[in-house]
């Protein structure tokens, strides 16, 4: 069983390497937005990939500003990354805030006003997916499956991109750990254009 799994992994790696070679006109391979700890960026060199500074407040790149979004678009259009990774902050769109914490006309208006401040970020995420699709490159877009993000007019059309594959899995499959050291069983929904990445989002690492 172990030998069969190792052989399957080797086949996937060879296929991915061939896919990567098709796009070697890119100036770098990985661009990660709203990255948090940016594990994907950190792991890129282990797979022979190059990555630039991830976009997140942690690293001084604020996508919540006009200039930060302009820099991101420039990185995509000029750098032509092989893959972009984007994860929308879920606080304002999560089930509990939308349907429980902000229930009632007044609170609902407060939440909608807060959500409107993040619409430029939603538009940026959608633009990124479309641009990568247009260039026949890869994207990975992620948000919790019950997040209201998926019902927003900026994001909904992304799910209709030809060839896009969507999967629901759990963060613990990728080694996510809670504050007490327990496995973090947080549901995530992710979309991509690559069958191998799709398999990873389904079954974990």
What are the tokens at 5? 């799994």
Q: What percentage of residues in the chain have a pLDDT greater than 90?
A: 36
pLDDT at 200: 61
Give the pLDDT mean for 183-193: 69
Spatial distance between the Cα atoms of 125 and 60, rounded to a whole number of angstroms: 19
Backbone torsions φ then ψ of 179, nearest 5 degrees:
-65, -20
**What is the CA 176 to chain-centroid distance, rounded?**
16
pLDDT tens digits for range 112-153 = 999 999 999 999 999 999 999 999 888 888 888 888 999 999
pTM of the model: 0.79
Give the pLDDT mean for 186-190: 70
Q: Are strands 30-33 and 138-143 parallel, antiparallel or unpaired?
A: unpaired
Give the model's confidence band at 177: pLDDT under 50 very low, under 70 low, under 90 confident, else very high.
Answer: low
Give the model's confidence band at 9: pLDDT under 50 very low, under 70 low, under 90 confident, else very high.
Answer: very low
Give strand pairing partners of 51.
Answer: 30
Spatial distance between the Cα atoms of 129 and 111, rounded to a whole number of angstroms: 26
Closest CA to 187 of 165, 161, 169: 169
Spatial distance between the Cα atoms of 7 and 159, rounded to a whole number of angstroms: 33
Give the model's confidence band at 38: pLDDT under 50 very low, under 70 low, under 90 confident, else very high.
Answer: confident
Give the model's confidence band at 98: pLDDT under 50 very low, under 70 low, under 90 confident, else very high.
Answer: confident
User: 143 Cβ partners below 8 Å, 6+ apart?
Assistant: 87, 88, 90, 93, 149, 150, 188, 189
pLDDT tens digits for range 52-86 = 999 999 899 999 999 999 999 999 999 999 999 99
Give the pLDDT mean for 43-49: 89
């Amino acid at each position: 069983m172990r030998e069969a799994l190792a052989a399957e992994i080797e086949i996937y790696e060879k296929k991915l390497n061939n896919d990567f070679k098709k796009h070697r006109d890119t100036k770098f391979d990985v661009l990660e937005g709203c990255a948090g700890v940016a594990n994907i960026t950190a792991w890129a060199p282990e797979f022979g990939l190059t990555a630039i500074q991830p976009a997140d407040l942690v690293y001084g790149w604020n996508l919540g500003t006009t200039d930060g979004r302009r820099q991101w678009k420039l990185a995509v259009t000029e750098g032509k990354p092989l893959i972009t990774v984007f994860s929308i902050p879920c606080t304002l769109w999560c089930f509990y805030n939308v349907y429980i914490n902000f229930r009632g006309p007044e609170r609902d208006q407060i939440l909608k006003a807060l959500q409107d401040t993040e619409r430029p970020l939603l538009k940026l995420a959608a633009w990124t997916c479309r641009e990568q699709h247009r260039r026949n490159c890869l994207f990975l877009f992620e948000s919790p499956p019950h997040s209201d993000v998926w019902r927003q007019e900026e994001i909904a059309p992304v799910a209709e991109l030809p060839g896009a594959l969507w999967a629901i899995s759990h963060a613990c499959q990728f080694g996510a750990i809670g504050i007490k050291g327990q496995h973090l069983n947080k549901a995530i929904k992710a979309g991509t254009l690559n069958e191998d990445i799709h398999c990873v989002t389904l079954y974990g690492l």
